């Protein structure tokens, strides 16, 4: 009976460890830094206008800057903690796949999220 309980507990622990390692979340390791969390296999967005959500992990104040005129960021700044940021993108009428970036910066570092939009 005791052996069965240990085996079940060990199996449960293994499942929890496997599931928790599936996420691609990067949490900041240094003071005053910012990190992005993206979904595994992040796919291009549709050609129609829409919104994409990105999660920010920050240990200090941060700002966001769109590097493409067809992407807007809301909010464009935040503070310490976890926050979801909305990237609103305009319709792609160019006839070609396009990529645009959003730079998230803190006092210590910056990271750029690349948004790919279908044609």
pLDDT: is 22 or 86 the higher one?
A: 86
Say what the pLDDT of residue 107 is.
85
Say what the pLDDT of residue 43 is.
86
Please classify residue 98 by burial: count the beta carbons closer than 10 Å to its beta carbon, then call 0-12 exposed, 13-18 middle and 19+ buried: middle
Residue 1, Cβ neighbours under 10 Å: how many? 5
CA distance 76 to 59: 16
Checking if the pLDDT of 62 tops 60, the result is yes
Domains of the chain by start residue, with CATH:
26-117 (2.60.40.10)
Q: Are 73 and 66 in contact (CB under 8 A)?
A: yes
What number is the average pLDDT over the span 34-44?
A: 67
Q: Of the ranges 15-19, 24-28, 55-59, 66-70, which is most confident?
A: 66-70
What number is the average pLDDT over the span 56-75?
A: 94
Give the global pTM.
0.70
């Amino acid at each position: 009976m005791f052996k069965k309980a240990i085996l079940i507990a060990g199996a449960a622990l293994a499942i929890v460890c496997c599931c928790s390692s599936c996420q691609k979340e990067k949490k900041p390791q240094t003071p005053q830094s910012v990190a992005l969390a993206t979904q595994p296999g992040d796919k291009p967005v549709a050609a129609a206008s829409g919104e994409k959500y990105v999660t920010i992990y920050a240990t200090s104040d941060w700002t966001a800057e769109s590097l493409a005129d067809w992407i807007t960021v809301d909010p464009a700044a935040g503070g310490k903690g976890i926050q979801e940021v909305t990237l609103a993108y305009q319709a792609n009428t160019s006839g070609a796949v396009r990529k645009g970036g959003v730079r998230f910066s803190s006092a210590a570092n910056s990271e750029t999220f690349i948004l790919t939009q279908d044609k």
